[in-house]
Chain A
């Protein structure tokens, strides 16, 4: 192979080789090149040092109450109208939803009988939905999640 450093071609092979992540065939080609190129050999040696140094950095374990805090936050989120209507019995941590669903039914029955007063409630739910959707859309925009034609690269997905 040509010298990756001098030609700037396949230079990433040196990184992957240093990390032991290059496939056998390419690794053999790099190894042959390293035997006759001191510059690349020095690069690989230094890069291995970086890799080993990074390996020494162990993060702290996640707090034992991580899930409890998360589910508590999830519980405190307002349930969507779909949740309230169709999924009242599924989630264990959503024990309060059946009550909410029952309340919604009561509200709905009141709507049928007295159309004026509950209008505010329905509008409020709709407003919350719109707000939440906008929130989601904003996040999707920020994350550039607009679906792209990625089917052609499904292997890497």
Chain B
């Protein structure tokens, strides 16, 4: 997801969608279905909710096709929609029930099939405990810090792009990230 020329290829695809080329929408969906869904999953940590939000993201992209103008990189626009929806959901769901659900899913964890050449049960359990710890640490971050970390770590976005997604300055993004990583270092550094 690096820097690109004035008009990135995705924005060109989106302009084709605007011109009625539905196949281009399919190409964008193929490319960003997983990144958007995974970003939302890590934001809200609920599989069903994250997929629902991801559906909403692509639905909004499709619905906005006629008014789309490539004022920003396509992924900036896409993740701005995704982040906006996630932050709204988190704001609305910040109540006891959401916390209960998070705790429960963290404790239970997703059920997974053990592959043929699976690591030992102990290794698997240790890995799951570690991942649960990572999830809890990320979930404990303030929403915007979490969004910034996820975009930097998993989407490999630069400070400037994260700033545009979050509608803030680059220095504000750096500040968010430093505070977030300071918290995460305390909680996760021992896992290396």
Chain A residues in contact with chain B, CB under 8 A?
A: 11-12, 15, 19, 21, 45-54, 56-63, 66-67, 69-70, 73-74, 77, 80, 82, 86-87, 90-94, 132-133, 136, 139-140, 142-145, 147-148, 150-151, 153-157
Q: With A50-B181, A56-B127, A56-B131 as given contacts, are A62 and B22 in contact (CB-CB < 8 Å)?
A: no
Task: Tell me, rounded to whole Å, the shortest Cβ–Cβ distance linking A31 to chain B.
Answer: 19
CA distance A45 to B4 in the complex (A): 32
Q: How far is the CA of A61 from the CA of B35 in the complex (A)?
A: 11
Interface membership of B118, Cβ < 8 A: no
Task: List B76-125 residues whose CB lies under 8 Å from chain A.
Answer: 76-77, 80-81, 84, 110
Q: How many A-B residue contacts, CB cutoff 8 Å?
A: 150
Complex contacts, A139 vs chain B, CB 8 Å: 60, 64, 81
Contact B188 A70 (CB under 8 A): no
B178 within 8 A of A: yes
Q: How far is the CA of A8 from the CA of B160 in the complex (A)?
A: 19
Tell me which of A50, A52, A60, A91 contacts B22 (CB under 8 A).
A91
> Could you say which of B22, B77, B110, B158 has the most chain A C-beta atoms within 10 Å of its C-beta?
B22
For residue B80, which residue of chain A has the nearest CB?
A: A143
Known: A143-B167, A150-B72, A155-B3. 9 other contacts (CB 8 A): A12-B159, A45-B189, A49-B190, A49-B192, A53-B134, A56-B134, A140-B67, A157-B4, A157-B72
B55 contacts across to A, CB distance below 8 A: 66, 69-70, 73
User: Is B131's CB under 8 angstroms from A144's CB?
Assistant: no
Q: List, in ascending order, chain B residues with CB within 8 A of A93's CB.
A: 22
With both beta carbons as reference points, the residue of chain A lying nearest to B81 in the complex is identified as A143
Q: What's the minimum C-beta distance from B76 to chain A, rounded to whole angstroms? A: 7
List residues of chain A with CB within 8 A of the CB of B4: 157
Complex Cα gap A141–B174 (Å): 25
Contacting residues, chain B, for A45 (C-beta < 8 A): 189, 192
Q: Are B189 and A147 in contact (CB under 8 A)?
A: no
Measured between alpha carbons, how far is A134 from B84 in the docked complex, in Å? 18
Contact between chains at B69 and A142 (CB < 8 Å): no
Q: Which chain B residues in 16-59 approach chain A with CB under 8 Å?
A: 20-22, 29, 33-34, 37-38, 41-42, 47, 51, 54-55, 58-59
> Which residues of B lie under 8 Å from residue A62 when comparing CB positions?
33-34, 37-38, 51, 54
Is B130 interfacial (CB-CB < 8 Å)?
yes
From B71, B130, B161, A145 is in contact (CB under 8 Å) with: B71
Contact B59–A56 (Cβ < 8 Å): no
Chain B residue nearest to A144 in the complex (CB): B167
A53-B192 CB under 8 A given contacts A59-B38, A74-B62, A157-B73: yes
Shortest Cβ gap from B140 to chain A (Å): 14
Contact in complex: B6, A52 (CB < 8 Å):
no
B179 within 8 A of A: no
Separation of A60 and B6 alpha carbons in the complex (Å): 34
- Flag if B33 contacts A66 (CB, 8 Å): yes
Q: List 10 A-B contacts (CB under 8 A).
A: A49-B190, A50-B185, A54-B138, A82-B66, A86-B20, A90-B21, A140-B67, A145-B71, A145-B80, A155-B3
